[in-house]
């Protein structure tokens, strides 16, 4: 069976032009212990913020189209599909493009982050449904993966973590070399940078979008803490050291920009992954999370310096994070192109 890379496809960077942003409506009450209402309000605010810059489609169950349309407004399209949860970054397609501008999608296998819950079967087919609706080619990848577990620079470099991709609850039959081969085959990358672990108590087992991301070629934004007593301190220090020693696919040393984590918050005894790297890069805009914390102001200033050509839109994200993710986790960009 052919692969995207063999057919000339690669995954573009998130700063490449988008045709659309995809999201999925919160439907799983067990995910949001504070209730679906505040989560849905937060998702709607993210959708409306992104819709200022590019088209947005919100996927939802058939019976909730009217409610979603009312909550999100006329600028957000609604597509009825069977879903069981609302993290489209992870179970939606990862879009790839070729030199001619054709767009296709990679359909990863999905097992609810190592079977964190069992009623996930509808989400295993979300990528296929979306690609069929778009009439785009679909590459079925022989790998359990989530879109939040990797980040690319569009020039051949991929960031990920050992904690997630090498976790036996995903692909216990595959070693590092085999997983790297699948990443190269399906995302068109040539250089893979492995960080160690992710955010403390992150139920995704160390998704990269909670701790680090490319903001342009050769530049990585990474979370850090200056509190040696924080369990994240040695983890983040190790990741910074790995980044400082890494080279991208072009052979460049990486410029590393850091942001401090907000003060620790817990929900039902579990630490919330309060991360500023979990943002969405829209056409001409940055929709970033804020957490009612003094560190928000520093993060906003940093984003304005990093993205002087883009409008910075802070959106309160605590009601999203309480469900286990952030703004990047609930969004998936579809690159511009033919199809």
Q: What pLDDT was estimated at residue 339?
A: 66
Place of tokens 């080619």: 137
Composition of the chain by helix, strand, coil, percent to 5: 30, 25, 40
CA distance 57 to 117: 26
Contact 106, 186 (CB under 8 A): yes
Q: How far is CA 56 from CA 14, 136, 278, 300, in A?
A: 15, 18, 18, 24
Q: What is the pLDDT of residues 247-293, one digit of tens each?
A: 999 999 999 999 999 999 998 888 999 999 999 999 999 999 999 99
Question: Which listed residue (60, 72, 164, 329) is catalytic?
Answer: 329
CA distance 242 to 88: 29
CA distance 282 to 298: 21
Contact 71, 63 (CB under 8 A): no
Identify whether 329 is a catalytic site residue: yes
Residue 9 lies in a domain: no
Parallel, antiparallel, or unpaired: how do β-strands 219-224 and 157-161 relate? unpaired
Residue 107 belongs to domain spanning: 18-335
Q: What is the pLDDT of residues 284-324, one digit of tens each?
A: 999 999 999 999 999 999 999 999 999 999 999 999 999 99
Give the DSSP H or E segment for 140: strand 138-144
Counting the structural domains of the chain, the total is 1
Q: What pLDDT was estimated at residue 269?
A: 87
Residue 263 lies in a domain: yes
Residue 132 lies in a domain: yes
What size, in residues, is the chain? 339
Residue 1 lies in a domain: no
Residue 6 lies in a domain: no
Beta sheet of 18-24, edge-to-edge order: 76-80, 56-60, 18-24, 332-335
Q: What pLDDT was estimated at residue 235?
A: 98
The pTM of the full predicted model, rounded to 2 decimals, is 0.97
CA distance 72 to 125: 24
- Phi (first) and psi of residue 59, to 5 degrees: -85, 140
- Phi (first) and psi of residue 208, to 5 degrees: -65, -30
pLDDT by 10-residue block (mean), the chain, 339 residues: 95 98 96 92 98 98 97 98 97 98 98 95 98 98 98 98 97 97 98 97 96 98 97 98 98 98 91 97 98 97 98 97 96 92
Indicate which CATH number applies to the domain containing 237. 3.75.10.10
Q: What pLDDT was estimated at residue 33?
A: 80
């Amino acid at each position: 069976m052919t692969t995207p890379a063999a057919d000339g496809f690669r995954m573009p960077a998130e700063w490449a032009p988008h045709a659309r942003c995809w999201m999925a409506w919160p439907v799983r009450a067990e995910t949001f212990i504070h209730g679906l209402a505040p989560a849905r309000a937060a998702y709607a605010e993210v959708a409306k913020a992104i819709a200022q810059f590019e088209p947005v489609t919100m996927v939802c169950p058939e019976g909730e189209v009217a409610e979603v349309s009312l909550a999100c407004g006329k600028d957000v399209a609604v597509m009825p599909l069977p879903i069981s949860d609302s993290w489209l970054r992870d179970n939606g397609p990862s879009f790839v493009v070729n030199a001619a501008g054709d767009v296709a999608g990679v359909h990863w296998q999905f097992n609810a982050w190592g079977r964190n819950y069992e009623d996930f079967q509808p989400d295993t087919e979300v990528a296929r449904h979306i690609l069929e609706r778009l009439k785009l080619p679909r590459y079925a990848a022989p790998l359990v993966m989530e879109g939040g577990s990797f980040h690319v620079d569009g020039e051949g470099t991929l960031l990920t973590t050992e904690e997630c991709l090498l976790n036996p609850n995903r692909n216990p039959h595959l070693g590092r070399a085999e997983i790297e081969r699948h990443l190269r085959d399906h995302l068109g990358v040539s250089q893979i940078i492995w960080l160690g672990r992710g955010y403390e108590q992150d139920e995704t087992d160390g998704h990269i979008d909670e701790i680090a991301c490319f903001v342009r070629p050769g530049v990585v934004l990474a979370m850090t803490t200056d509190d040696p007593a924080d369990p994240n301190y040695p983890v983040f220090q190790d990741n910074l050291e790995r980044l400082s020693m890494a080279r991208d696919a072009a052979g460049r040393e990486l410029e590393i920009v850091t942001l401090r984590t907000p003060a620790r918050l817990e929900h039902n005894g579990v630490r919330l992954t309060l991360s500023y790297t979990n943002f969405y890069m829209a056409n001409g805009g940055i929709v970033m999370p804020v957490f009612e914390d003094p560190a928000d102001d520093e993060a906003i200033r940093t984003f304005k310096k990093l993205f002087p050509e883009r409008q910075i839109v802070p959106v309160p994200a605590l009601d999203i994070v309480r469900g286990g993710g952030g703004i990047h986790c609930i969004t998936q960009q579809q690159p511009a192109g033919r199809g």
